[in-house]
Structure 1
Amino acid sequence: MVIHYKCPNCGSDMAFDAESGALSCGNCGRQDNIEDFSDEFIETVFEEDEAKEYHCNNCGANIVTDADTTATSCSFCGAAVVLADRVSGILAPSLVIPFTISKRQAEEAFIKWCRKGLLTPRGFMSASRIKKITGIYVPFWLYDLKNEAKVHAVGTRVRTYSRGEYIYTETKYYDVYRDLRIDFSRVPVDASEKMDDKLMDKLEPYQYSDLKDFKTPYLAGYIAEKYNYDAKELFPRVKEKMNKPLDDFIRSTVSGYTSVRYKNKNITTKSRKSLYTMLPVWMVYYDYDQSEHIFAMNGQTGKVVGKPPLSKGKIAAWFGGIAGGSFLLMKIISFIVTGGGIL
């Protein structure tokens, strides 16, 4: 089933506008609140073969998608469409964070980010070579986790003191036990096999106060993917993702010791709740030096992640500056200590 959102004024297609947070008509400029948009202006077309090919009722063309696409646009007329069968039933997201950064704002922010690179080539910093920028709603699972940690460690406290001509070192050993309950809320893990997991992790944090109940109009005008992995399949990954935060929290409860050696650490993690959620991402494809560089931008906060190219000349100059500065510092120290001159 293909869904079109038609403008009540002029009949043109409407799409979600990140700047206003409303359904917007590019033809006459009308804007409608998603919550109040009337069903009579939503056109749907059902197809027998819904696996990969859909029919655009705007221009009559066939819309060919892969099996994971849930929202796209017609390549012939540009109409924004949502493939409703792929966001319904067990595939229906519970929550969504709408885009708050428009395509224009994303382009401007990315170019500004490029110019901040201290070790990037001059051409990368000064030129705008955006090949393509695409707004994608990426499927995530948000987990609420309950962790129980039972820890046994040995802590030491070392004291050094002197009596007469002798210096003594006193070491005391302590058995340390912790029985902890540690809860985490809304831990995101992307559920699309197409997306780079490390890149998606670096886009955090999102502001979850902006979460909204999912409605298909939020997808209009953007690309969206459905999940490839369910919450059970991704549970081992979210556990691994939380290993360091758990260790950091446990260590924060064991303080006041000179050293700590852990003898036993048992952690049990359970999922209290997992919610299928769509999060906004701008994918930026940038041409430089005859190669394509891929970056991602958080579509809510504007945070940019990715690896820009590095300038060998700038790197050499930077290390040369450090080496020169270190040499000069040593000479100054030598002058102060010996009273000599600087060569």
Structure 2
Amino acid sequence: MSEETPAALAPLSSTCPSCGAQTSYAPGTTTLRCGSCGTQLEIAASTATIREHSFDEWVGKHGDVQVAQLGAHVLRCQGCGASTETADLAGTCQFCGGALIAVDRPEGLVAPEAVVPFHVDQRAAREEFKKWVGSRRFAPNALKKVGSTEGLQGTYVPHWTYDAHTETDYEGQRGDYYYVTVSHQVSDGKGGTRTETRQERRTRWSHASGHVARSFDDVLVAGTERLDRKKLDKMGPWRLEDARPFQQEYLTGYSALRYDVDPQAGSNNARQQMQRVIEDDCEHDIGGDEQRVSDMDVTYSQAMFKLVLMPLWIATYLYGGKTWQVMVNANTGEVVGDRPWSVPKIVAAVLAALVVIGVIVAIVLTTSGSTSSSP
């Protein structure tokens, strides 16, 4: 990601030199593979390094750039040469099915610094889907017979990573437990009473304040709202150690979304994540048995960020006349998605639980009655 975003990108050829068909990136390798004759082309090793960039410097220069104001990418088909304008970074040609690759970059757009290539291929993604279907509790029995997905699509999803060093002054309270002896009267079962004592726990609160420091590295924030944010958050953890310097070859044969969450919004999200960790640090620093943090004054410095493309299989399956969506993390194989629920199974489980509770209550009452009637 350079200070001056280039308008044009280096040309890329993704056609097979043997038969002229389209090639695509082969998951888990460093090659482009021809889907027609099987020819493999080695992707030239990049001499670039993955760099992180000053967030404050970027805001000072581009802080007024809004995502909605950015122009469209020009994508050109590597097969028939057709061009199209879109907000995506890569895709498939609607005319010949060839790979659409970006040939320019709108001014002010943050360029990807790194890419985590596909590791899980389409066949493995389908296998992970089958395992996921088979492991769903309270799912209709017929669901486990669903063995295939429709429209399984490989997509790179933009994510921001943020680094920062934090210094925090906090105010709060420390709670320390202490115990007192409490007496009370209980029935002796013979018409009289007797005195019983017990230890009662109480909390003594005192003012607490202090200072904590922590450095954060690669706090991850999804860079798009086009996919369900909650599902994306559950897709991790991603293996960022697999990231490589961005090369368009890794996008060949897949779609790639452009970010629609700008760096400032992503930074706000990252700082919310950081503050939850910082609050835990403050509680640990307070000590005692319980802690209350009433105020945190956090100072951020050395703020850095970068844009990384993450691999995802997006699949749909049909059940009960309805389309359901699942996502397969193409880096780790993690599956997150929608599923139907079996009402009869849920009702049966609830009734079974009620029966067990009823039996336990009956046993307790019987035992209590026997104890009370003993001389």
| Shorter-chain TM-score range | 0.7 to 0.9
What's 1:202 paired with? Answer: 234
SS at match of 2:260: coil
Q: Which moved more, 1:206-215 or 1:164-173?
A: 164-173
What's 1:331 paired with? Answer: 362
Identical residues among aligned pairs (%): 26
* Bigger radius of gyration: 2
Matches within 5 A, 1:82-231: 82-86=101-105, 90-128=109-147, 130-161=149-180, 172-231=204-263
| 1:260 paired to 2:279 | no
SS at match of 1:157: strand
1:81 aligns with one of 93, 100, 106: 100
Cα pair distance change 1:7/1:160, threshold 3 Å:
same
Distance 2:120 2:182 in 1: 69
Cα pair distance change 1:268/1:121, threshold 3 Å:
farther
Cα pair distance change 1:163/1:251, threshold 3 Å:
closer
SS at match of 2:13: strand
What's 2:36 paired with? Answer: 27
1:30 deviates by 2.6
Distance 1:18 1:143 in 2: 27
1:249 aligns with one of 281, 299, 309: 281
Cα pair distance change 1:6/1:307, threshold 3 Å:
closer
Normalising by structure 1, we get a TM-score of: 0.83
Distance 2:94 2:13 in 1: 14
SS at match of 1:139: strand
1:31 deviates by 2.3
Q: Alpha-carbon deviations, 1:86-112, whole Å to 9, x = none? A: 499844210110110001111111121
| 1:233 paired to 2:268 | no
SS at match of 1:107: helix
Query: Are 1:135 and 1:280, in contact at CA under 8 Å, matched by a contact in 2?
Result: yes
Distance 1:265 1:30 in 2: 59
Residue identity matched to 1:246? I
Distance 1:159 1:56 in 2: 73
What's 1:321 paired with? Answer: 352
Query: Are 1:87 and 1:93, in contact at CA under 8 Å, matched by a contact in 2?
Result: no
Stretches (4+) displaced over 6 A: 163-170
Cα pair distance change 1:171/1:108, threshold 3 Å:
closer
Query: Are 1:155 and 1:261, in contact at CA under 8 Å, matched by a contact in 2?
Result: yes
Residue identity matched to 1:7? C
Query: Are 1:129 and 1:288, in contact at CA under 8 Å, matched by a contact in 2?
Result: no
Distance 1:150 1:130 in 2: 52
Q: Alpha-carbon deviations, 1:145-183, whole Å to 9, x = none? A: 333221222223232255999888786443322311122
Q: Alpha-carbon deviations, 1:263-293, whole Å to 9, x = none? A: 4332334561110111111111222222222
Query: Are 2:112 and 2:307, in contact at CA under 8 Å, matched by a contact in 1?
Result: yes
Query: Are 1:147 and 1:270, in contact at CA under 8 Å, matched by a contact in 2?
Result: yes
- Unaligned runs of 5+ residues in structure 2 are 1-8, 47-70, 184-194
SS at match of 2:341: coil
SS at match of 1:300: coil
1:70 deviates by 1.2
Query: Are 1:158 and 1:171, in contact at CA under 8 Å, matched by a contact in 2?
Result: yes
| 1:71 paired to 2:71 | no
Normalising by structure 2, we get a TM-score of: 0.76
Aligned residues: 325
Cα pair distance change 1:13/1:175, threshold 3 Å:
same
Query: Are 1:16 and 1:22, in contact at CA under 8 Å, matched by a contact in 2?
Result: yes
Q: Which moved more, 1:314-323 or 1:289-298?
A: 289-298
